[in-house]
Structure 1
């Protein structure tokens, strides 16, 4: 199976780039299932329903959120209806939406998408390890599901690496989101789980993690409130990861994707 996961969509330029690139990537890489992290799509803060609809229409099978899940209040009734939009599984019980989605492909193969959020330097949510264990309790990679993909939305590299190692062999891939900076540690762990600390953002990298530089710099240098942060709007780089699995659901390879914009260009070999 071939899996595509695109990182945090940042503002208008990120949305436009993903909507334009996703059909091409699905076609050229023969993608079976595509996932997009959309929590920063609306001016860097949250996701609006019409934006989610556009990403789904472009070819996303699922969209994940994160710490900005509820910044756009109109997403609350939307997430109750659109099961392919998921938020972190370790939000407390009673939080709207679900932390995972089970997708059945046209050929009958099943793929489980899960999102968990870290707790180091993040909101103090429930334990992401226990939350993910609960989401996987009725699954068995290669038996009940042909692929299991986990989006770990977190700040600390150590927490991401520990999480991936904890679920090595139980998931096809554990992919980090949130920091907006693509890491160079993509690898297949000993148990067959593909891992990358952060798959990067889809946005303008002539920025401070996707935000216009001047207001962001002012916050560091003046240490007082100032102009509201807003996304940079230059040409975006579409960043993500490509994973290929074997019939058991274990990863054969993981390769980064970087196309357009300022970063060095990388496309998987097919």
Structure 2
């Protein structure tokens, strides 16, 4: 199975680049499945229903969210009607939606799950490891599903790496999101799980992690707040991870970062 995961879609710039570029990228890389983290797509805070529909219509098979999952109020209703939008497994128990779904895609069954980290996050969430463990036990590779992808939405690189090793051999892909900067450690772990600490963002990199740089710089330099953060609006780079898996075992055969457009050097597999 040829899977593309794209990191945090940031504001209008990220949405525009994604919806314009994904159809061609699907064809170029002969993708079977595309999963997109879009929890920052609505001005950097959450995702609304109209934006979710546009991302799905552009070629995404599933959308993951994160700690800003319900910043846009209409997502609370929309997520109950759209199984392709996935909220964190260990969010508040009363929250709507589900944190894991088995989706029928290209004649295969793909498990998509997301979990929030605990280290350095703005609030404390339930234990992410036990949450992921239960999901992977219920949908084993080579049996219930042909592939499984886990989006680990964390601040700490150590927590993301620990989750990768925890899932090794039980998930096809473990990929980190949230910090908006692509890391250089794409690899296949000994048990056959493709891993990347952070996929990076789909947004304008002439910024401070996707935000127009004036206000973040002011706060760092003076310690004072003057205005709201606003997403940067320049040309966006699409960042993510391409993984090819074995349908029989669910293990990863190839893992490679993908970067298209914007300011970052291009990367990705040959067509």
> Could you state the TM-score of these two structures normalised by the residue count of structure 2?
0.97
Structure 1 residues 127-180: Cα deviation after superposition (integer angstroms, max 9, x where no partner): 000111122232110111000000000011100000100010000000000110
Look up the SS of the partner of 1:202 in the other structure: coil
Two-structure CA RMSD over aligned residues (Å): 0.9
Look up the SS of the partner of 1:3 in the other structure: strand
Look up the SS of the partner of 2:250 in the other structure: coil
CA shift at 1:267, angstroms? 2.1
CA shift at 1:76, angstroms? 0.5
CA shift at 1:25, angstroms? 1.2
Quote the residue 1:193 is aligned against. 193
CA shift at 1:32, angstroms? 0.7
> Could you state the TM-score of these two structures normalised by the residue count of structure 1?
0.98
CA shift at 1:106, angstroms? 4.0
1:46-85 alignment runs, 5 A limit:
46-85=46-85
Quote the residue 1:221 is aligned against. 221
Q: Measure the CA separation in 2 of the matches of 1:220 and 1:106.
A: 48
Quote the residue 2:112 is aligned against. 113
Following TM superposition, the consecutive aligned residue runs of length 4 or more in structure 1 with deviations greater than 6 angstroms are none
**Residues 1:256 and 2:265 are matched in the alignment:** no
Q: How many residues align?
A: 269
Q: Measure the CA separation in 1 of the matches of 2:241 and 2:117.
A: 20
Q: Measure the CA separation in 2 of the matches of 1:51 and 1:105.
A: 22
CA shift at 1:223, angstroms? 1.8
**Contact kept? 2:33, 2:106, Cα under 8 Å:** no
User: Quick check: 52-61 or 128-137, which moved more?
Assistant: 128-137
Q: Measure the CA separation in 2 of the matches of 1:235 and 1:85.
A: 26
**Contact kept? 2:90, 2:125, Cα under 8 Å:** yes
1:9-158 alignment runs, 5 A limit:
9-107=9-107, 109-122=108-121, 123-158=123-158
Look up the SS of the partner of 2:141 in the other structure: coil
Look up the SS of the partner of 2:229 in the other structure: coil
Q: Measure the CA separation in 1 of the matches of 2:203 and 2:184.
A: 18
Look up the SS of the partner of 1:217 in the other structure: helix
Structure 1: gaps spanning 5 or more residues? none
Quote the residue 2:270 is aligned against. 269
Structure 2: gaps spanning 5 or more residues? none
Q: Measure the CA separation in 1 of the matches of 2:26 and 2:254.
A: 17
Quote the residue 2:205 is aligned against. 205
CA shift at 1:222, angstroms? 2.1
CA shift at 1:60, angstroms? 0.6
Q: Measure the CA separation in 2 of the matches of 1:158 and 1:267.
A: 25
